[in-house]
Structure formats: C-alpha cells, structure tokens
C-alpha cells in the first residue's frame, strides 16, 4: 500500500506491500462514554483496555494516586498534560515533572502521582496475563487473533534494567522523521506532536500491517478512523468500509491486515499516540527514527 512520496513512511521496508488475509474488526473505546474501570487511591480514574498483544491503562491522574504493578517485563509509561510522578523501583527512584516517556523495568513498581494530568501505561499482554484479565474487553481475545504473530520480546538493555525517562521536550520533531519514537524490550511508543488544525484530506496515508496490531491512544480531539478490509477471492469475507468518528480520549485497536488511516477533523487540539508490541522492525531500521535506540539493541 504505497504512501505519498512526501510521507516519511514511504521509505519503510514495509511500504508497498499488498495486504492478505481476513482481519478482525477494528474496535473503538470512547472512554468518557462510560464510567472508569477503577477509581485510584487519590480519586483519579483508570480505564483498562487490551488488544491481542497489548494492555493499555489510561489514567486521568490526581495527586495521591498510586499506580502499582508487578510485571514480568518492562513497560512503557507516558506522563502527559502537566502530570508529575515519582517512579519507585528497586533499581532506583526517578522524579518526572515534564511530559515524558518512561521505561519501567520488570518487577515491582509504584508510580506515585504528584501533579494532576494524564498517565498512560503500555504493557505486553503475553507477559502480563493478570493485567490483561483486568481489561473490560478481555474476553474478546478468546480465541486469540490468529493474524497477529506470536509475541517475541526484544533484547534487554546491555547496561541492565533501570528506570529510564525521556523528556519529550528534548526530542522535538524533525523533517523526515515520523513522530517521536521510543522502544524498550517489550513495546514501542510513537508520540505525535499536538496540533490544532484538521488533516488535509488530500494527504491521507492508508496502509496496513502484515502481522501486528496498532493501538492508537487518542488523547485529545476528534478523529475519523478510516478502515478497509482487503478483498479476497471469498466474497463472503468482504466488509463495508468504516469511517468511525471518535472523540478523545479513546482507544482504537487496529488488527492486521486492515487498511487504515486516521484523520484529525475540526479546529481543536489533536493529540495521538500509537503503540506497538513488540517494537516495529521497520521503524527501527530507519536511522534516527528511534530516539533511544542506543539503549536497546536490535534482535
């Protein structure tokens, strides 16, 4: 599925491939359409949602919240929209008071919220079955999505596990690079710059993934998520295109090999984050795209 020549993804090794197979339907969870799944210790609200490969915990955090986890693998922690946290772990404690992507090591961790804002945690579902079981849509993945490749973690950091914090302000956008991408041994996080304008409808980017999901964490703004199921010789598998209007905050799960693209609409703040598990090899192959690549080797 080719990209526009001006799209940074046009140079990816996966660009131009033809989708095959019949995907599951995309799923959309508009968080404010219902009550939170959990009220945290400080009064904050958390929604737990999963895909085949990922668990996403979205917290509208308040001071005094304690986000505690015991994990088999690393996980990604996003501290956004003015939030402040103290991350406690046996490897050391880290204070974060600016928008950041944080890698939390395996084992027991305690994220203490010191200032209100949004906190998003991203886990590899295969490594954290107890966290996956918390998700309201857990039963959707019994049976599993056979189009998603079996989960394989990437190598651990050569200098050992520790809490690693990457402040987004230290990694401004650059021409020719797609968003701000960080990875660890379990997940990859791509943070796009917030913006106020709708997307140019003549500059969309329909594409697909052969065997991995994309979960879009729609932090703010209105989007239309366009989805197309590839035609196969079996007409009974064909489905109508979807053009799903979604208001933030929302979680959108895009299974392979759906052809998809997301369109920011209306004049308002738009803020979107894409997450993947395990990390994407095609993004990792592009020099300079993964901003913490020196910390995590390729497989």
Mean per-residue pLDDT for 118-122?
99
Provide the pLDDT for residue 11.
Answer: 63
Domain 8-170+178-293 has CATH 2.60.120.10: yes
Q: Which residues touch 21 (CB under 8 Å, ≥6 apart)?
A: 147, 230, 232, 256, 257
Do 93 and 87 touch, CB atoms closer than 8 A?
yes
Looking at per-residue pLDDT, the higher value among 115 and 232 belongs to 115
- What mean pLDDT is reported for the chain? 95
Tokens of 56: 């996403």
What tokens does 48 get?
A: 């737990």
**Residue 19 in this model has a pLDDT that exceeds 80:** no
Question: Which of the four pLDDT bands, split at 50, 70 and 90, describes residue 257?
Answer: very high
pLDDT in tens, 191-224: 999 999 999 999 999 999 999 999 999 999 999 9
CA 5 to chain centre: 25
How far is CA 53 from each of CA 205, 254, 268, 279, rounded to the nearest angstrom? Answer: 24, 11, 31, 11
Tell me the pLDDT band of 12, cut-offs 50, 70 and 90: low
Residue 251 pLDDT greater than 90, yes or no: yes
pLDDT band at 173 (very low <50, low <70, confident <90, very high): confident
* Strand partners for 262: 225
Q: Residue 246: how many CB atoms within 10 A of its CB?
A: 20
Are 71 and 109 in contact, with CB atoms under 8 Å apart? yes
Q: What region, left, alpha or beta, does residue 82 occupy, with left being phi > 0 and alpha being psi -120 to 50 degrees? A: left
State mean pLDDT over 245-259.
Answer: 98
What does the block give as tokens for 205?
């980017």
- Evaluated on CA atoms 208, 187, 99, 29, the torsion sign reads positive
Higher pLDDT, residue 8 or 202: 202
> What pLDDT was estimated at residue 21?
76
User: Could you tell me where the beta strands, DSSP code E, fall in the chain?
Assistant: 27-30, 38-39, 45-50, 54-61, 66-71, 75-80, 84-89, 94-96, 100-104, 107-115, 117-124, 164-167, 180-183, 188-191, 214-220, 222-228, 242-247, 250-254, 259-265, 271-276
Residue 127 — very low, low, confident or very high, per pLDDT cuts 50/70/90?
very high
Q: Are 296 and 186 in contact (CB under 8 A)?
A: no
Cβ count near 95 (within 10 Å): 11
8 Å CB contact between 206 and 228: yes
User: Helix (H, G, I), strand (E, B), or coil: what is residue 178?
Assistant: coil
Length of the chain: 299
Element containing residue 130 per DSSP (H, E): helix 129-132
pLDDT at 78 over 90: yes
């Amino acid at each position: 599925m080719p990209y526009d020549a001006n799209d940074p993804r046009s140079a990816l090794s996966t660009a131009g491939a033809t989708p095959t197979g019949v995907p599951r339907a995309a799923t959309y969870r508009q968080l404010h359409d219902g009550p939170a799944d959990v009220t945290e210790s400080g009064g904050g609200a958390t929604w737990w949602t999963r895909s085949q490969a990922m668990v996403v915990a979205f917290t509208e955090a308040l001071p005094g919240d304690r986000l505690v986890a015991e994990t088999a693998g690393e996980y990604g922690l996003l501290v956004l929209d003015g939030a402040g946290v103290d991350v406690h772990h046996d490897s050391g404690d880290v204070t974060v008071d600016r928008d950041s992507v944080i890698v939390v090591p395996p084992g027991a961790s305690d994220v203490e919220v010191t200032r209100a804002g949004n906190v998003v945690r991203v886990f590899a579902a295969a490594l954290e079955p107890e966290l996956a079981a918390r998700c309201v849509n857990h039963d959707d993945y019994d049976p599993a999505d056979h189009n998603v490749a079996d989960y394989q973690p990437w190598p651990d950091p050569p200098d050992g596990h520790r809490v690693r914090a990457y402040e987004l302000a230290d990694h401004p956008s650059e021409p020719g690079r797609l968003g701000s991408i960080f990875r660890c041994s379990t997940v990859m996080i791509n943070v796009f710059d917030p913006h106020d304008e709708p997307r140019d409808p003549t500059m969309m980017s329909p594409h697909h993934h052969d065997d991995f999901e994309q979960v879009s964490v729609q932090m703010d703004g209105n989007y239309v998520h366009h989805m197309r199921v590839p035609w196969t010789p079996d007409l009974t598998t064909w489905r109508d295109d979807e053009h799903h209007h979604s208001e933030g905050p929302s979680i959108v799960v895009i299974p392979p090999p759906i052809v998809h693209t997301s369109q920011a609409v209306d004049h308002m703040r738009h803020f979107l984050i894409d997450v993947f598990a395990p990390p994407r090899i095609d993004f990792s192959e592009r020099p300079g795209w993964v901003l913490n690549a020196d910390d995590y080797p390729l497989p």
